[in-house]
Amino acid sequence: MTPRGRLVTLEGGEGAGKSTQARFVVAWLEQQGRTVVQTREPGGSSLAEAVRGIVLGNWADGVTPETELLLMFAARADHVAHRIEPALRAGYDVVCDRFVDATWAYQGAGRGVADEHLRALERLVLRDLRPDLTLVFDLPPEIGLARAKRRGDTNRFEAETIAFMERVRAAYLARAKSDAHRYVVLDATRPIDEVQARIAQTLGERFK
C-alpha cells in the first residue's frame, strides 16, 4: 500500500512572499526524492480557479462576508476532491499556497464571520484532512501591503485597510500559538536566504 503523502501549507498576510517560498519548499522536497504537487487557494482545480476570479474581483455591489466565505469553501471542496486528496492518496506531497487557515484569518477574524459557521463548513469540506505542516510568514501589515502595491494589479484583499490586515495577522499568530507542532512562524521581514535557511531546517526536522 502506498504511504500517504504530506500536505504542507504556506500562510500569511499580503506581500509575505509565500509564492516565492512555496517554490523553495517544492524544490527542497524534490531534492529528497519526493514527488510534489504545487497548488494554491483559492484555486488549484479548474472549477476552483474560476471561483478564484470571482472571489478576487472588484464587484460594484461589493461582496458580503457570507458570500465570500461560501465561495472560498466551494472552491476548496472542488480543490480537495480533484487535486489534493488524489495526490495525497497516490503518495505525493502537496505544497499549497494558502489553505483553511486563511479562511479563519480573513473571513473569520478579518470579516467577522462567526466561528460556528467556519467550523461547520470546515467539517463538511475537509472532514479529517488537516495540513501536516503549516508555515506562517509573519510581517507587519504596512510592509506587506506596500510590497503588494509595488507588484501592481492589486486585488481587493490587497486593497484592504491596515486594521483589517492587523486582525488577519493576529488570527494567524493565535492559531500558530495554539498548535506549536503543526505551525512554524517565520519572520518574513528577514532576507529571503535567511527565511529559506529556516524553512530548510524545519523541513529537515519534520520530514526526516
Residue 141 in this model has a pLDDT that exceeds 80: yes
pLDDT for position 145:
83
Could you check whether the bond before residue 42 is cis, i.e. omega within 30 degrees of 0? yes
Alpha carbon 94 to chain centroid, angstroms: 12
Q: What's the average model confidence in pLDDT over 87-113?
A: 97
Grid cell 519572520 in the structure block, residue: 187
pLDDT for position 152:
65
Count of other CB atoms within 10 angstroms of residue 123: 10
Q: How confident is the model at residue 204 (pLDDT cuts 50, 70, 90)?
A: very high
Q: What's the average model confidence in pLDDT over 4-12?
A: 97
pTM here is 0.94
Q: What's the average model confidence in pLDDT over 74-99?
A: 98
